[in-house]
Structure 1
Amino acid sequence: MSARGLLVGAPRSGSGKTTITLALLAALARRGLRVRAVKSGPDYIDPAFHAAATGQPGLNLDSWAMPPALLDHLAAAAAAQADLVVAEGAMGLFDGVAGGAGRTGAGADVAARLGLPVLLVLDVSGQSQTAAAVARGFIGHDPRVRIAGVVLNKLGSDRHERMVREAMAPLGLPVLGAVPRDAGIVLPERHLGLVQAGETADLDRRLSALADLAEAHLDLDAIHAAAQPLLGTALADPAAALLPPPGERIALARDAAFSFVYAHVLAGWRAAGAQILPFSPLADEAPPQGCDALWLPGGYPELHAGRLAAASRFLEGVRAFAASGRPVHGECGGYMVLGTAITDAEGARHAMLGLLDLETSFARRKMNLGYRAARLLAPSPLGAPGARVRGHEFHYATVMERGADAPLAELSDAEGRPLGPAGSRRGSVTGSFFHAIARDPLSPG
């Protein structure tokens, strides 16, 4: 690998990881560095902001969902086209599931496997000397993970900063940033996390302000110097772990209603020789001619349900595509649009494609969250019968009706507890709430 890298972590969510990461990315890119950003875990919102800050595609690395060799491969591919790789952890640095060693989904797994030193972001509001005790715990918690320095976030005053720095001094841990409480820039949020990058007003201005914040409050030279060469090597043939392309020419719904598909999935399809042709359901576009597979990704169709219900060219085009026997697959939001209807948060019911016997509602919200291990029950764009796929589910839709359609897969959670049959299939049309991330190379198909 040619690039050096580090991982931005924290004791918990809400510490300021995303703000500090985006500030760091924007400032280093402004200096002319080729920066590639990585999100540890399955989150799909942050990578779009990372891409906006760096001008490079976002990337997810997930130690639970991805076989270790695939994680190495994707990291190597990112490093080959960058001067610096900056990874952002999820939740707390060591937070994950009860998986095997190095397969918990925690940011610490990614840091350890790739040899990434950690820049620890500490929210020191409401504490002073105690911040040093927290840092001391992180230094000694896991010998695989090296804490390279800390950023003190949400400082209340010069005196506050002095007290924390004095407490940190005996640790020998460099303070590589000190950010005042009033310097933070909050990005707008929605029920599944941040508002999408493409919907954020004045995003360029916000990123420029974050770069200014980094120049003023982070020791960018020292942070860059703390980065270390990434470990791991590229696979000669990563296809065994990547999702297979569902066709040679893939019609991909792509707009504000269908915004989520993992970058490594698309890259894997292209590497396998597939051509991806995007189209916009919100612009009432039908799937492009000449495609042999159709993919409806996740996103926020419930926010645009009225427009989708009125998009006649889109609806009829997808129905004709399915009637031809060509495969159609929907994930999460795409799965809901394949159903009969979506009821929005205000209680209005909107008719959808009706290709699957599924009706969902956001008027009665219920959070569904967690890793999913799937064993496919029938041929689908995700693989052959018996193939095993790992992915993630996160939505607030309530299933009001699931009819007689056969299930797509048998699911279990991250700890192997069975969750029963899930998803739907009818003819060439399939769908599921879980977003597929990678397949098990040892499984059939």
Structure 2
Amino acid sequence: MVHENSLWPKGLAIAAPASGSGKTTLTLGLLGALRARGHVVQPFKNGPDYIDPAFHAVAAGRVSYNLDGWAMGAGLLRSIAAQAMGADIVVFEGAMGLYDGTPDPGRDGRGTTAELAKRFGWPVVLVLDAKGQGQSAAATALGFARHPEAPPFAGAIMNNVASPRHEAMIRSEMDRLGLPMLGALPRNPEIVLPERHLGLVQAGEQADLPQVLAKLADFVADHVDLAALEAAAGAAPAPTPGPWPKPPAQRIALARDVAFAFAYPHMLEGWRRAGAEILPFSPLADEAPDPSADLVWLPGGYPELHAGQLAAASRFLTGLRAFAQTKPVHGECGGYMVLGAALIDKAGTRHAMAGLLGLVTSYEKRRLHLGYRKATLQAPMPGQAAGATLWGHEFHYSTILEQPDAPLAEVRGAAGQMVPETGSVRGQVSGSFFHLIAE
């Protein structure tokens, strides 16, 4: 139990002016480098993201949790942050730019990295891509450090530094402006993590990932002042945690493989804390859900990359259909697509899915759907009654071609605008492109 007068473990927030600056590369290297120095390191990730935390977990040897000020209330944020108790240091990876968030506030703010860094007392390490600039990199750091909403500023680490002379130019200006420079990462094309349409290729799909992360840890240790970085870590008082998410059933058959990997650790933690039993199965291995379960839950992932294999998974599909005759089934995003009648892949090939909903989706006709979502249920779904309000997000590239079933929810974006992806419900089967973050 966390008591009112205790502190969160000391930590640092890894932030940047924008996406693509090197936050994830630095975070993964720091996790490994600090762990190699004998520290127990607790990773966190700001905002909706399934992929980066899986890499964090491999690098740190400890589950990485999402913290989201837009979708989560203060109590749940405190509960998740309390998972760091017992660690020596926290490394919290930000999202996008340090001050980037929604125009309108959600449950505990606009979802910015700056807000959460201030809440938990974790000073910011600003990652700056120094390619194509010299002293101006220091001016950027000054602006971020002196912003009126600035969290404590630990210092900056320059990325893509071209030469020792380039580093010296920036370091001299940082010194003149009174800003700590904690490291300089030279350009290194040999350390690259492969990407695809939703971000990095998943950690579970990279057999050589431990070796890559070990090289990255050594790279960061060689070019970052780890002692100064550790000394800059800070923490705020830790109030009592709040409630965790409630499980949607007592015994939950959960699809788990590289096609269905997008289940938030804090959701599963909440389910387990309430005594729910999670029964994993792999649709890609043609495993059927446990027929003794109370609920089948199909999370999101990459079914569009495995549509032919899923369409041929007869034991999985037969078992899922049989289960749905008497018990509830729910799918999120990719799971929703698999519950539908068909999925059209990138090449335009139509693959028959479970047919428990009439949904037809196309990955051939790609369009980005991205953003926070607030859903008001128009029909019940597992664990939630009609009328309940849920907080989450949507992130996919598939297009709905047919959606003939009754809508599951009225869905709005962060600014309150109506969203056409309402989800579907047919009997005890429900699904939506909406990813649940908090109730």
Partner of 1:300: 302
Partner of 2:42: 36
| Partner deviation per Cα, 1:215-248 (whole Å, 9 max, x = no partner) | 100111111111112443342x504xx2x21111
**Counterpart-to-counterpart distance in 2, 1:415 and 1:314:** 39
Structure 2 gaps, min length 5:
1-6
| Residues 185-264 of structure 1: pairs in structure 2 closer than 5 A | 185-235=191-241, 238-239=243-244, 242=245, 244-264=246-266
Partner of 1:162: 168
1:372 aligns with 2:377: no
Structure 1 gaps, min length 5:
440-445
**Counterpart-to-counterpart distance in 1, 2:67 and 2:236:** 14
Counterpart among 249, 270, 274 of residue 272 in structure 1: 274
Asked if the contact 2:324–2:429 (Cα under 8 Å) also holds between the matched residues in 1, the reply is: yes
| Residues 87-106 of structure 1: pairs in structure 2 closer than 5 A | 87-100=92-105, 103-106=109-112
Partner of 1:442: none
SS of the residue aligned with 2:165? helix
Aligned length: 432
Asked if the contact 1:113–1:231 (Cα under 8 Å) also holds between the matched residues in 2, the reply is: no
**Counterpart-to-counterpart distance in 2, 1:238 and 1:254:** 26
Residue range with higher mean Cα deviation, 185-194 or 224-233: 224-233
Partner of 2:322: 320
| Displacement after TM superposition at 1:6 (Å) | 0.9
| Displacement after TM superposition at 1:143 (Å) | 4.2
**Counterpart-to-counterpart distance in 2, 1:420 and 1:360:** 14
**Counterpart-to-counterpart distance in 2, 1:38 and 1:139:** 22
**Counterpart-to-counterpart distance in 2, 1:100 and 1:339:** 34
| Partner deviation per Cα, 1:265-302 (whole Å, 9 max, x = no partner) | 00000011100010000111110132001100000001
1:357 aligns with 2:358: yes
Asked if the contact 1:245–1:274 (Cα under 8 Å) also holds between the matched residues in 2, the reply is: yes
**Counterpart-to-counterpart distance in 1, 2:147 and 2:207:** 41
The root-mean-square deviation of aligned C-alpha atoms, in Å, is: 1.4
| Displacement after TM superposition at 1:184 (Å) | 6.5
SS of the residue aligned with 1:182? coil
Q: TM-score, normalised by structure 2?
A: 0.96
Asked if the contact 1:51–1:58 (Cα under 8 Å) also holds between the matched residues in 2, the reply is: yes
Partner of 1:443: none
Partner of 2:284: 282
Q: TM-score, normalised by structure 1?
A: 0.95
Partner of 1:111: 117
**Counterpart-to-counterpart distance in 1, 2:79 and 2:284:** 35
Flag the 1:143–1:364 CA change in 2: closer, same or farther, 3 A. Answer: closer
| Partner deviation per Cα, 1:150-209 (whole Å, 9 max, x = no partner) | 101111111111110111112221111111113662100000100000112310110000
Partner of 1:432: 432
Partner of 1:85: 90
1:332 aligns with 2:338: no
| Displacement after TM superposition at 1:434 (Å) | 1.1
Aligned amino acid, residue 295 of structure 1: W
**Counterpart-to-counterpart distance in 1, 2:341 and 2:149:** 52
Counterpart among 138, 148, 153 of residue 154 in structure 2: 148
Residue range with higher mean Cα deviation, 137-146 or 429-438: 137-146
SS of the residue aligned with 1:229? coil
SS of the residue aligned with 1:87? strand
Partner of 1:136: 142
Flag the 1:164–1:45 CA change in 2: closer, same or farther, 3 A. Answer: same
1:386 aligns with 2:387: yes
| Partner deviation per Cα, 1:332-354 (whole Å, 9 max, x = no partner) | 00000000011110111110000
| Partner deviation per Cα, 1:13-60 (whole Å, 9 max, x = no partner) | 111011000000011112221111000010110000000101111210
| Partner deviation per Cα, 1:371-403 (whole Å, 9 max, x = no partner) | 000001121125111111110100000111111
Aligned amino acid, residue 359 of structure 1: V
Aligned amino acid, residue 216 of structure 2: L
Partner of 2:409: 409
**Counterpart-to-counterpart distance in 2, 1:118 and 1:67:** 23
Asked if the contact 1:65–1:390 (Cα under 8 Å) also holds between the matched residues in 2, the reply is: yes
Partner of 2:67: 61
| Residues 10-29 of structure 1: pairs in structure 2 closer than 5 A | 10-29=16-35
| Displacement after TM superposition at 1:420 (Å) | 5.1
**Counterpart-to-counterpart distance in 1, 2:65 and 2:402:** 35
**Counterpart-to-counterpart distance in 2, 1:378 and 1:342:** 25
SS of the residue aligned with 2:316? helix
Flag the 1:171–1:382 CA change in 2: closer, same or farther, 3 A. Answer: farther
**Counterpart-to-counterpart distance in 1, 2:18 and 2:174:** 20
SS of the residue aligned with 2:160? strand
SS of the residue aligned with 1:373? strand
Aligned amino acid, residue 172 of structure 2: E
Asked if the contact 1:64–1:99 (Cα under 8 Å) also holds between the matched residues in 2, the reply is: no
Aligned amino acid, residue 292 of structure 1: D
Sequence identity percentage: 59
Asked if the contact 1:183–1:213 (Cα under 8 Å) also holds between the matched residues in 2, the reply is: no
Asked if the contact 2:8–2:120 (Cα under 8 Å) also holds between the matched residues in 1, the reply is: no
**Counterpart-to-counterpart distance in 1, 2:342 and 2:421:** 21
**Counterpart-to-counterpart distance in 1, 2:301 and 2:236:** 32
**Counterpart-to-counterpart distance in 2, 1:398 and 1:382:** 28
Asked if the contact 2:371–2:393 (Cα under 8 Å) also holds between the matched residues in 1, the reply is: yes
**Counterpart-to-counterpart distance in 1, 2:120 and 2:417:** 30
Asked if the contact 2:12–2:91 (Cα under 8 Å) also holds between the matched residues in 1, the reply is: yes
Asked if the contact 2:424–2:431 (Cα under 8 Å) also holds between the matched residues in 1, the reply is: yes
**Counterpart-to-counterpart distance in 1, 2:419 and 2:195:** 30
